[in-house]
Structure 1
Amino acid sequence: MSELARVFIFGDDVDTDTIAPGGYLHLPIEAQKKHCLESIYDGFSDAVKEGDIIVAGENFGNGSSREQAPLILKTLGIRAIFARSFSRLFFRNAINVGLYPGIIRGNYELKDGDEVQVDLLNHMILSAKSEILFIPPDGIALEIINSGGMVEYARKMLGKN
């Protein structure tokens, strides 16, 4: 299954403090999301539409243990994040909130705003200039994502839909 998505490009070392700035963590998630990535991408929260994806460099989501970071991205409408590498904790937190993290392999030519086809089944992103392969989450991680996150997965396993 392949779906059309718009791309937001980020470089290396995008940390959780940038994704979810600490000064707003006391606010409800709907208010927090307005400040997502604002220090490196002015207007990001207004630009994101449901189904958009992020393509990033190395070490995405490093920094402090902020479970709000992937939740804010998901709440904004980001469907998946593809990066060369992730912080282990961010990767796990993304899965727990039902946000798809894929690990990019190889080189690619993409720019901010490009429209691509995301093929989760065949583990590739197709653009006019690139075919980007990625390593998907597997096993139970994929089941958790497909359930919508850890809470929904647990409800499903307990038979409490």
Structure 2
Amino acid sequence: MKLEGKAWKFGDDISTDHIAPGRLFHLRSNLEELAKHVLEDADAEFPKKVQKGDFVVAGRNFGLGSSREHAPRIIKIAGVSAVLAKSFARIFFRNAINVGLPVLICDTDKIDVGDTLEVDLEKGVVLNKSKNLTLTFSPLPKAMLNILNDGGLSSHIKKHGDFKLE
């Protein structure tokens, strides 16, 4: 499973409030509309300029804060193919996999805004095409890849039945 797109760079401690601004709480039942504001409190230009297939690239502790499942969901709705970060808040990581959004733990220091990336989820490789640089990450377990390939946990269970992860 290979993904390709442009990098959007964010720093450390990007919270679920940065991802899904709390002032827009009333849009929780309209995720398509809420996705038009994804990460705007961290970068006002991001929701206007992000393209299908692009990557969110961040530092440490991405997704900290409340366990709102709509945070990773609106990142996915906005067209982001994966989030790469040095570390993730545990609940955000799990919610992201459950909604079918790949989240990859890797060193993001050598990725800059606008770099073109190619990510191989199975091999655990990030090719920074802009810098001709290869980065690695621990490949996701087969069970997680199966969930992602099926579009998230709900779709996976509908397809295979309860708790059949392989």
- TM-score, shorter chain, exceeding 0.5: yes
Map of 2:101 onto structure 1:
99
The change in CA–CA distance for 1:10 and 1:123 in structure 2 (over 3 A counts) is: same
Map of 2:127 onto structure 1:
126
Asked if the contact 1:124/1:132 (under 8 Å) is kept, the reply is yes
Distance in 2, matches of 1:141 and 1:23, equals 33
Asked if the contact 1:108/1:132 (under 8 Å) is kept, the reply is no
The change in CA–CA distance for 1:3 and 1:36 in structure 2 (over 3 A counts) is: closer
Using the TM superposition, give the Cα deviation of residue 129 of structure 1 relative to its aligned residue in structure 2, in angstroms.
4.5
Asked if the contact 1:15/1:61 (under 8 Å) is kept, the reply is yes
Distance in 1, matches of 2:125 and 2:153, equals 25
Distance in 2, matches of 1:97 and 1:39, equals 22
**Structural mapping, 1:5-154, within 5 Å:** 5-27=5-27, 28-105=30-107, 108-127=109-128, 128-154=131-157
Secondary structure, in 3 states, of the residue corresponding to 2:13?
coil
Using the TM superposition, give the Cα deviation of residue 151 of structure 1 relative to its aligned residue in structure 2, in angstroms.
1.1
Q: CA RMSD in A?
A: 1.7
Structure 1 unaligned residues grouped into runs of 5+ = none
Deviates more, 1:62-71 or 1:111-120: 111-120
Asked if the contact 1:101/1:136 (under 8 Å) is kept, the reply is no
Calculate the TM-score normalised by the size of structure 2: 0.88
Asked if the contact 2:124/2:140 (under 8 Å) is kept, the reply is no
Asked if the contact 1:50/1:79 (under 8 Å) is kept, the reply is yes
Calculate the TM-score normalised by the size of structure 1: 0.90
Deviates more, 1:55-64 or 1:107-116: 107-116
Deviates more, 1:33-42 or 1:79-88: 33-42
Identity across matched positions, percent: 43
Distance in 2, matches of 1:153 and 1:25, equals 29
Using the TM superposition, give the Cα deviation of residue 31 of structure 1 relative to its aligned residue in structure 2, in angstroms.
1.2
Asked if the contact 1:24/1:32 (under 8 Å) is kept, the reply is yes
